[in-house]
Structure 1
Amino acid sequence: MGICHGKPIETQQSERENPEFPNEVPSSTTTTNPTKPSKFPFYSPSPLQSWFKNSPANSNPSSVSSTPLRIFKRPFPPPSPAKHIRALLARRHGSVKPNEASIPEGSECEIGLDKSFGFAKQFSAHYELAEEVGRGHFGYTCSAKPKKGPLKGIDVAVKVIPKSKMTTAIAIEDVRREVKILRALTGHKNLVQFYEAYEDDENVYIVMELCKGGELLDRILSRGGKYPENDARVVMIQILSVVAFCHLQGVVHRDLKPENFLFTSKDENSMLKAIDFGLSDYVKPGLAYSLLSYFCCFINREYKQLVVTIRFSFSDERLNDIVGSAYYVAPEVLHRSYGTEADMWSIGVIAYILLCGSRPFWARSESGIFRAVLKADPSFDEAPWPSLSADAKDFVKRLLNKDYRKRLTAAQALSHPWLVNHHDDMRIPLDMIIHKLVKAYICSSSLRKSALRALAKTLTVAQLAYLRDQFTLLGPNKSGLISMQNFKTAVLRSSTDASKDSRVLDYVNMVSSIQYRKLDFEEFCAAAISMHQLEGMESWEQHARRAYELFEKEGNRPIMIEELASELGLSPSVPVHVVLQDWIRHSDGKLSFLGFVRLLHGVSSRAFQKA
Structure 2
Amino acid sequence: MGHCCSKQASVSVVNNTDHLAAGDQSSTSHGLPAGPGAGGSHSGKNTPAYSFTASPFQSPLPAGVAPSPARTPGRTPGRKFRWPLPPPSPAKPIMPIMAALLRRQGKAPRPKDGPIPEEQNGEEGERERALDKSFGYAKNFGAKFEVGKEVGRGHFGHTCWAKGKKGELKGQPVAVKIISKAKMTTAISIEDVRREVKILKALSGHKNLVKFYDAFEDANNVYIVMELCEGGELLDRILSRGGRYKEEDAKNIVVQILSVVAFCHLQGVVHRDLKPENFLFTTRDEDAPMKVIDFGLSDFTQPDQRLNDIVGSAYYVAPEVLHRSYSMEADLWSIGVITYILLCGSRPFWARTESGIFRSVLRADPNFDDSPWPEVSPEAKDFVKRLLNKDHRKRMTAVQALTHPWLRDESRPVPLDISMYKLVKSYVRATPLKRAAQKALSKAITEDGLIYLQAQFRLLDPKHGYVTLENFKTALTRNATDAMRESRVPDILKLMEPLAYKKMDFEEFCAAAISPHQLETLEGWENIANTAFEYFDREGNRAISVEELAQEMNLGPTAYPLLNDWIRSSDGKLSFLGYTKFLHGVTIRSSNSRHR
TM superposition score category, shorter chain reference:
0.7 to 0.9
Partner-residue secondary structure (3-state), 2:169? coil
Counterparts of 2:505 and 2:124 in 1: how far apart (Å)?
51
Contact residue 444 and residue 532 of structure 2 kept, 8 A = yes
Instruction: Give the structure 2 partner of residue 97 of structure 1.
Output: 117
How many angstroms does 1:574 deviate by?
Answer: 2.6
2:584 maps to 1:584: no
Q: Structure 1 pair 444/511, CA: closer, same or farther in 2 (3 Å)?
A: closer
Contact residue 282 and residue 501 of structure 1 kept, 8 A = yes
| AA matched with 1:97 | P
Contact residue 362 and residue 369 of structure 1 kept, 8 A = yes
Question: 5+ unaligned residues in a row in structure 2: which ranges?
Answer: 9-53, 63-80, 88-113
Q: Give per-residue Cα distances to partners, 1:426-446, cap 9 Å, x unaligned.
A: 321111111111121122222
Partner-residue secondary structure (3-state), 1:198? strand
Contact residue 345 and residue 399 of structure 1 kept, 8 A = yes
Instruction: Give the structure 2 partner of residue 212 of structure 1.
Output: 230
Contact residue 429 and residue 496 of structure 2 kept, 8 A = no
Contact residue 437 and residue 527 of structure 1 kept, 8 A = yes
Instruction: Give the structure 2 partner of residue 431 of structure 1.
Output: 417
Counterparts of 2:411 and 2:381 in 1: how far apart (Å)?
25
2:468 maps to 1:448: no
The aligned runs of 1:506-525 (5 Å cut-off) are 506-512=491-497, 514-525=499-510
Partner-residue secondary structure (3-state), 2:137? coil
Q: Structure 1 pair 106/531, CA: closer, same or farther in 2 (3 Å)?
A: farther
Counterparts of 1:223 and 1:210 in 2: how far apart (Å)?
24
Question: 5+ unaligned residues in a row in structure 1: which ranges?
Answer: 7-17, 27-75, 83-93, 286-315
Instruction: Give the structure 2 partner of residue 24 of structure 1.
Output: 60
Aligned residues: 499
Name which of structure 1's ranges 530-539 and 204-213 shifts more when overlaid on structure 2: 530-539
2:383 maps to 1:395: yes
- TM-score normalised by the chain length of structure 1: 0.76
Q: Structure 1 pair 357/539, CA: closer, same or farther in 2 (3 Å)?
A: same
How many angstroms does 1:139 deviate by?
Answer: 1.9
Instruction: Give the structure 1 partner of residue 352 of structure 2.
Output: 364
Contact residue 119 and residue 199 of structure 1 kept, 8 A = yes
Counterparts of 1:412 and 1:208 in 2: how far apart (Å)?
31
Contact residue 550 and residue 559 of structure 2 kept, 8 A = no
How many angstroms does 1:161 deviate by?
Answer: 0.7
Instruction: Give the structure 1 partner of residue 50 of structure 2.
Output: none
Instruction: Give the structure 1 partner of residue 83 of structure 2.
Output: 78
Instruction: Give the structure 2 partner of residue 376 of structure 1.
Output: 364
Contact residue 213 and residue 227 of structure 2 kept, 8 A = yes
Taking only aligned residues, the RMSD between alpha carbons, in angstroms, comes to 3.0
Residue from 511, 517, 528 that aligns with 1:543 = 528
How many angstroms does 1:130 deviate by?
Answer: 1.1
2:148 maps to 1:130: yes
2:588 maps to 1:597: no
Instruction: Give the structure 2 partner of residue 263 of structure 1.
Output: 281
Contact residue 220 and residue 226 of structure 1 kept, 8 A = yes
Instruction: Give the structure 2 partner of residue 67 of structure 1.
Output: none
Q: Give per-residue Cα distances to partners, 1:374-425, cap 9 Å, x unaligned.
A: 111110001111111111001101111111111111111111111012xx44
How many angstroms does 1:108 deviate by?
Answer: 9.5
| AA matched with 1:568 | E
Instruction: Give the structure 2 partner of residue 481 of structure 1.
Output: 466
Counterparts of 1:332 and 1:570 in 2: how far apart (Å)?
24
Partner-residue secondary structure (3-state), 2:163? strand
Partner-residue secondary structure (3-state), 1:378? coil
Residue from 323, 337, 340 that aligns with 2:328 = 340
| AA matched with 1:471 | F
Instruction: Give the structure 2 partner of residue 249 of structure 1.
Output: 267
Counterparts of 2:362 and 2:297 in 1: how far apart (Å)?
22
How many angstroms does 1:475 deviate by?
Answer: 1.6
Q: Give per-residue Cα distances to partners, 1:105-164, cap 9 Å, x unaligned.
A: 999941211111111112111111112222234321111111111111211111111111
2:431 maps to 1:413: no
Q: Structure 1 pair 260/516, CA: closer, same or farther in 2 (3 Å)?
A: same
Counterparts of 2:400 and 2:59 in 1: how far apart (Å)?
38
Counterparts of 1:378 and 1:566 in 2: how far apart (Å)?
38
Name which of structure 1's ranges 107-116 and 188-197 shifts more when overlaid on structure 2: 107-116
Q: Give per-residue Cα distances to partners, 1:257-315, cap 9 Å, x unaligned.
A: 10110111111110010011111101112xxxxxxxxxxxxxxxxxxxxxxxxxxxxxx
The aligned runs of 1:192-203 (5 Å cut-off) are 192-203=210-221
- TM-score normalised by the chain length of structure 2: 0.78
| AA matched with 2:580 | V
Counterparts of 2:516 and 2:404 in 1: how far apart (Å)?
17
Instruction: Give the structure 2 partner of residue 55 of structure 1.
Output: none
How many angstroms does 1:232 deviate by?
Answer: 0.5
Partner-residue secondary structure (3-state), 2:177? strand
Instruction: Give the structure 2 partner of residue 561 of structure 1.
Output: 545
Instruction: Give the structure 1 partner of residue 311 of structure 2.
Output: 323
Instruction: Give the structure 1 partner of residue 475 of structure 2.
Output: 490
| AA matched with 1:142 | C
Percent sequence identity is 61
Q: Structure 1 pair 487/136, CA: closer, same or farther in 2 (3 Å)?
A: farther
Instruction: Give the structure 1 partner of residue 43 of structure 2.
Output: none
The aligned runs of 1:288-303 (5 Å cut-off) are none
How many angstroms does 1:23 deviate by?
Answer: 6.0
Q: Structure 1 pair 131/544, CA: closer, same or farther in 2 (3 Å)?
A: same
Counterparts of 2:425 and 2:126 in 1: how far apart (Å)?
42
How many angstroms does 1:562 deviate by?
Answer: 6.2
Q: Structure 1 pair 390/119, CA: closer, same or farther in 2 (3 Å)?
A: same
Partner-residue secondary structure (3-state), 2:565? helix
How many angstroms does 1:212 deviate by?
Answer: 1.1
2:171 maps to 1:153: yes
Counterparts of 1:5 and 1:107 in 2: how far apart (Å)?
29
Partner-residue secondary structure (3-state), 2:146? strand
Partner-residue secondary structure (3-state), 1:266? coil
Instruction: Give the structure 2 partner of residue 12 of structure 1.
Output: none
Contact residue 315 and residue 357 of structure 2 kept, 8 A = yes
Instruction: Give the structure 2 partner of residue 239 of structure 1.
Output: 257
Instruction: Give the structure 2 partner of residue 305 of structure 1.
Output: none
| AA matched with 1:581 | N
Counterparts of 1:274 and 1:373 in 2: how far apart (Å)?
24
Contact residue 448 and residue 602 of structure 1 kept, 8 A = no
Counterparts of 2:215 and 2:389 in 1: how far apart (Å)?
39
How many angstroms does 1:224 deviate by?
Answer: 0.6
Q: Give per-residue Cα distances to partners, 1:164-200, cap 9 Å, x unaligned.
A: 1111111111111111111111221000111111111
Contact residue 5 and residue 80 of structure 1 kept, 8 A = no
Q: Structure 1 pair 373/351, CA: closer, same or farther in 2 (3 Å)?
A: same
Counterparts of 1:201 and 1:597 in 2: how far apart (Å)?
61
Q: Give per-residue Cα distances to partners, 1:494-530, cap 9 Å, x unaligned.
A: 1111111111122224424654521100011011111
Partner-residue secondary structure (3-state), 2:213? strand
Partner-residue secondary structure (3-state), 2:541? coil
Q: Structure 1 pair 553/560, CA: closer, same or farther in 2 (3 Å)?
A: closer
Partner-residue secondary structure (3-state), 1:450? helix
Q: Structure 1 pair 190/81, CA: closer, same or farther in 2 (3 Å)?
A: farther
Instruction: Give the structure 1 partner of residue 131 of structure 2.
Output: 113
Q: Structure 1 pair 20/220, CA: closer, same or farther in 2 (3 Å)?
A: closer
Q: Give per-residue Cα distances to partners, 1:201-230, cap 9 Å, x unaligned.
A: 111111111111110000111111100111
Residue from 180, 183, 188 that aligns with 2:198 = 180
Contact residue 107 and residue 168 of structure 1 kept, 8 A = no
Counterparts of 2:495 and 2:84 in 1: how far apart (Å)?
43
